[in-house]
Amino acid sequence: MTRISRKVCIIGDFAVGKTSTVTRFVNNVFSEKYLTTVGVKIDTKDLELVDGRSLRMVIWDIAGSDRFSSAEFAYMRGAQGYLLVVDGTRKETLASALALRAAVEERYGALPFVLLLNKYDLVDEWSVSDAEIEALNKQGVLVLCTSAMTGKCVEKAFRDLAKSLTGVSAA
């Protein structure tokens, strides 16, 4: 079996649920306890593609920030796509995410990405409006409402990104 590897990053403001999303995807577990990431945490997950190849996603979970310094830009180097995570209950994290996206595109060009509106389990407390989501959709941004706690759409987010990276769906 042919195996290919792709580096992807997961970025967003602090405490939006990036590490929880990765942990849900890689280990299928969730912890209520908030643990800050310092620097970057690297994990891997293998996906089988429908063309028979195996994709190893090397996931760089970058410490939360509303803007990138040279260290974060260095982490992004060599990434072929990324997940942009927003906390649906904190409206300001959407602005942070969009600012990060702009910074990444300015430095590395337009990379494939999926925007995750996370904490869907708290949707009653969301402050991101339907109109804002609709506006993102109209810009062609792939937006998924996810919950690292319940697992909602987490797998799909990575699979959608994998397809963007390889042009092939995961099996």
Partner 1 sequence: MSQRLDDLPPTLRDRVSQLMAHSFNCLCVGVDSVGRLVEVFGDPAGLGLELPATGEPLEGFLPVLTGLDLSEAAELSALDLGGSAVVDLHVLPGNPAWLVLIDRRSEVAASRHFQQATNETRLVNAEQRRLMEQLIDSRAELALRKQEAEDSSRKKTEFIASMAHEFRTPLTSVLGYIQLLSARVAEDSGATEQLAAVDRAARHLLSLVENNLDQARLEAGSLVIHRVDADLRRLVDDLTVILAPLAADKGLSFGAYVEDEVPQNLWLDDVRLRQVLVNLLSNAIKFTDEGNVSLNVSWRDGWLDCEVHDTGPGIPENAQARIFEAFARLEHSELKPGAGLGLNISMRLAQLMGGELALRSQPGKGSAFILHLPARLARERDRSLVHGELGAQLKRRAGTRVPVLVAEDNPDIMQLLQAFLEPAGYALIKAQTGDEAVTRAMDQRPPLAILDMNMPGLSGMQVATRLREAGFGGRLLALTATRGSEHRHAALAAGFDEFMSKPVQMPHLLSTLERLLQDG
Binding track, positions 7-26, relative to partner 1; x by CB under 8 A: x------xx-----------
- The residue type of 38 is V
What does the block give as tokens for 74? 């260095």
Binding track, positions 47-86, relative to partner 1; x by CB under 8 A: ---------x-x----xx------x--xx-xxxx------
How far apart, in whole angstroms, are the C-alpha atoms of residue 65 and residue 170? 30
Tell me the longest C-alpha to C-alpha distance in the chain.
Answer: 46
Comparison of 34 and 105: residue with beta carbon closer to partner 1: 34
Q: Would you call 18 helix, strand, or coil by DSSP?
A: helix
Instruction: Rule CB under 8 A: say whether 101 interacts with partner 1.
Output: no
Tell me which residue has tokens 């293998």: 46
Instruction: Rule CB under 8 A: say whether 6 interacts with partner 1.
Output: yes
Closest CA relative to residue 19, chosen from 44, 1, 3, 37 = 37
CB of 55 to partner 1, least distance (A): 11
CB of 138 to partner 1, least distance (A): 27
Comparison of 52 and 78: residue with beta carbon closer to partner 1: 78
Site for partner 1 in 111-170 (CB under 8 A): 127
Q: Would you call 19 helix, strand, or coil by DSSP?
A: helix
Total residue count of the chain as it appears in this document: 171
Query: Site for partner 1 (CB under 8 A): which residue of 27, 28, 31, 44?
Result: 44
Query: Site for partner 1 (CB under 8 A): which residue of 42, 95, 102, 123?
Result: 42
CB count within 10 Å of CB 34 equals 10
Comparison of 5 and 169: residue with beta carbon closer to partner 1: 5
Closest CA relative to residue 80, chosen from 49, 59, 53 = 59
Query: Site for partner 1 (CB under 8 A): which residue of 46, 48, 51, 92?
Result: 92
